[in-house]
Amino acid sequence: MTLDRRNFIKLMGGASSLALAGCATQGPAVSAGSAAEIMPKGSARRVVVVGGGYGGTIAAKYIRMMDPSIEVVLVERNDHFVSCPFSNLYIGGILPDLSSLTIKYDKLVANHGIKFVQAEVTAIDPAAHTVVTSKGTLKYDRLVISPGIDFRTEEIEGYNAQTPEIMPHAWKAGPQTVLLRKQLEAMKDGGTVVLTVPLAPFRCPPGPYERTSMIAHYLKQHKPKSKIIVVDANPDIASKGPLFRKGWDMHYKGIIDYRKAAKVTAINAAGKAVLIEGIDEVKGDVVNLIPPQRAANIAVQAGLVGDDKKWCPINADTFESTKQKDIHVIGDASIAGAMPKSGYSANSEAKVCATNIVNLMNGRPVTPLSGINTCYSYITEGEAISVAAVYASKDGQIIAVPNSGGVSPADWSMVKTEATYAKSWLRNILTEMST
């Protein structure tokens, strides 16, 4: 049995996924911390979950729902989470602030008996089965990490610790998102925005192109003499490319200057300039520099990344690391085959991972992966496009199920409806994560 795209979306009830501004999880960074045990482990089986974003909250919740006898400890450095999905609408001047994208953990913790530790994760010791945090250590039977991304800034000459304050990436929602919007607001009418796109893979495949649309929307509304130059290291727009191009042609002619196969290798932050392949210089009044990416620092420190030191190889059904036993990696940091690095992928992976952790801890057979993702991207305030797919494991790999999902109709007949679906998705998934 196969689903055509419209029936697939209908089945999902408009509450599927969103791959907007760098969707996915946020997680702890590396810092110094105490080695004292802060929550002694008794006889109960314990799963520690690192990272309170799209993947981590769901993994913690579903393990407790499926087996309340398993103690779950959620470790997150913040007392709240800000969604990358929909943050492009804030950058584009459509959302007034980030409050509608922000959740806290109190209800999730209380409703499911999850133990919450607000702390930085400083180290993971796979041999000792311990997580070291800024408040002490935690022992685990199994560990789930959903740490998100960090950047390979060493590949960009001239990049340093101050660069993000001059050329914000805004690829982790929060202060960087606010900074980029403030820079757009302060830019003169007639100014130029430069947006750089790194080589894939990166968090949220369609995210940079939705951001292009939202910045162009802002310029059209508020600074009509301005333009945006997109410097894309990739050979073309891989996700929903024809639909993005159609939307840009319909709404943003003369505003968007898209340049493909243009890799940024160096920058001059003081001069607000990026250098393409060491030859061509592109200057802007505002520069949204999105660096190349890899799994977050803590995953690298724990020896979870592959030989390329970028992403974490995993078992396709359990998401257990192939590098370290009893550690599961979900979300952007993992190598999840055909599944994109998006918020809903993290949500879907978390449920599969949670199911199989419970199976493994109770001596039951592993359940084969069945995953899903739908990514919405806004073109204008009231128009969105989407791509959807179903995933399965085959021969140890995660594949897209043939003839499942699809993209928005090329005739533009669904764009207003899909903008509504996207809003419904955000409400539903943030509620699922926070209650």
Domains of the chain with CATH codes = 24-151+294-368 (3.50.50.60)
Question: Alpha-carbon distance 274 to 195, whole Å?
Answer: 10
Partners of 382 in the β-ladder = none
Residues 433, 114 contacting (CB under 8 angstroms): no
Q: Specify the pTM.
A: 0.92
Residue whose structure tokens are 């003369």: 254
- The tokens describing 312, both together, are 């974490």
Partners of 401 in the β-ladder = none
Question: Alpha-carbon distance 360 to 350, whole Å?
Answer: 15
Residues 274, 229 contacting (CB under 8 angstroms): no
DSSP string, 208-246: HHHHHHHHHHHHHHH-TT-EEEEEESSSS--SSHHHHHH
Beta strands in 36-164 (DSSP E): 46-50, 71-76, 80-82, 102-104, 115-118, 121-125, 130-133, 136-139, 142-145, 149-151
pLDDT per residue as tens, the chain (435 positions): 233 433 333 333 333 333 333 333 444 433 333 468 899 988 889 999 999 999 999 999 999 999 999 999 999 999 999 999 999 999 999 999 999 999 999 999 999 999 999 999 999 999 999 999 999 999 999 999 999 999 999 999 999 999 999 999 999 999 999 999 999 999 999 999 999 999 999 999 999 999 999 999 999 999 999 999 999 999 999 989 999 999 999 999 999 999 999 999 999 999 999 999 978 999 999 999 999 999 999 999 999 999 999 999 999 999 999 999 999 999 999 999 999 999 999 999 999 999 999 999 999 999 999 999 999 999 999 999 999 999 999 999 999 999 999 999 999 999 999 999 999 999 999 999 999
